[in-house]
Amino acid sequence: MRITAIRVFQVDLPLVERAYAWSEGKKVEVFDSTVVRVETDAGLVGHGECCPLGPVYLPAYAAGVRAGLAEIAPQLIGLDPTELDVVNRRMDYLLKGHPYVKSAVDIACWDITGQAAGMPVCQLLGGRFGEDVVLYRAISQLPPAEMAGNVARHKRDGYTRFQLKVGGRPDEDIERIRQARAVLGPSDVLVADANTGWLMHDAVRVVNAVRDLDVYIEQPCARYDDCLTIRRRTSLPFVLDENIDSIDAVLRAASDGACDVVNLKIAKFGGLTRARQVRDLCVSLGLAMTIEDTWGGDIVTAAIAHLAHSTPEPFRFTATDFNSYVTTTIADGAPRRENGRMRAAEAPGLGVKPRDEVLGEPVLIA
């Protein structure tokens, strides 16, 4: 089988809650997502998606996905999309770094490989563990009482795990955590995600002030060493996200005992092939994971569902259903949340069928 064409589409994904805000006043109102369609001489067509969380979350941005694809896509024509390591090695040869640029191509090749094998992607990634995947809800940064209200509202929707966006003023963040915890039951999980927004003295104030609560602390500071310092000064369970962007970073964090959970975002590693390597390494190291992506619509959500569903349940801290945060449906067949859970599709490949009328005309054809 050979790749005969790659088409790239741009889609806007407005948010149901109109805006998503996190540390330091950063926010996004409409997500800019890129969908990649890989076509083959066998008649099989695969789809992938990459959606950075705006330009100021990680070193990635939406127009950069498409600029990078313009560099590499023409030189992928003729490759066999089911030779996933060959495709990835070629992409790395053509463009150094920029893993997020390669993510959607890799996901589309997994979609094709699954269709060619007649199996859902989760089966190729290791098999289906359990009936479904437990999801978390990210709670956009607002004044403390409004955030607690939103936690309560999403709990009524069936969510049992919540990620509060903190990383603001320490006194206000302490209130955010206290008020959110107060509306939850003992079995509900609460994570306070500062998204690198605190300096060390801010972080120490917050972790000391909430040490009596059942709450996880996520990525308090920008620098890994600063996070490690806070980790060593708190008894609260600890999550690293922005600093975990490579195999090396996982190995170092595991060796330092720097966290209890890592956040595995597919685009951060460059697609499902590399994310699976990191997932399998975390299982070997005994590290639990949040399995997700930087953002996205139905295609990203399907990819998350396949990676999460093929991860042994004890290692699945939680996962994300990004398609429920946005108003636009870009593909049919993607997982739909039910009672705070989702499951990977049974159909071959990712199990999604993009809506051509939503994708519109391609912005790039290779």
Q: CA dihedral defined by 73, 75, 77, 78, rounded to 10 degrees?
A: -150
Catalytic residue among 26, 102, 155, 265: 265
Give the binding-site size for Mg ion (rule: CB under 5 A): 2
Instruction: Write down the least CB distance from residue 241 to Mg ion, Å.
Output: 4
Exposure string of 141-160, with b = 16+ CB inside 10 Å and e = fewer, is bbebeebbbbbeebbeeebb
- 241 contributes a contact to Mg ion by CB under 5 A: yes
Site string for Mg ion, 302-341 (x = CB under 5 A): ----------------------------------------
Maximum distance among all Cα pairs of the chain, rounded to whole angstroms: 61
- Residue (of 1, 35, 4, 10) closest to 115 by Cα position: 1
What span, in angstroms and rounded, lies between the C-alpha atoms of 124 and 110? Answer: 9
Distance of CA 338 to the CA centre of its chain: 19
Find the shortest distance in angstroms from Cβ 25 to Mg ion: 17
Residue number with CB closer to Mg ion (91 or 215): 215
Decide whether 68 or 237 has the Cβ nearer to Mg ion: 237
Q: Which of residues 148 and 261 has its CB atom nearest to Mg ion in the complex?
A: 261
Nearest residue to Mg ion by CB is: 241
DSSP string covering 204-253: HHHHHHTTTS--EEE--SSSHHHHHHHHHH--S-EEE-TT--SHHHHHHH
Find the shortest distance in angstroms from Cβ 290 to Mg ion: 8
For Mg ion, give the closer residue by CB, 39 or 241: 241
Minimal distance, residue 103 CB to Mg ion, in Å:
17
> Catalytic annotation on 265?
yes
Backbone dihedral angles phi then psi of residue 52, each to the nearest 5 degrees: -60, 150
27 is an active site residue: no
The catalytic position among 155, 165, 268, 353 is 165
Shortest CB 162 distance to Mg ion, Å: 13
Among left, alpha and beta (phi > 0; psi -120 to 50; other), residue 90 is alpha
Which residues ranging from 157 to 196 are in contact with Mg ion (CB under 5 A)? Answer: 193
Nearer to Mg ion, 9 or 216 (CB): 216
Give the catalytic positions in this structure. Answer: 165, 265
Q: Which residues bind Mg ion (CB under 5 A)?
A: 193, 241
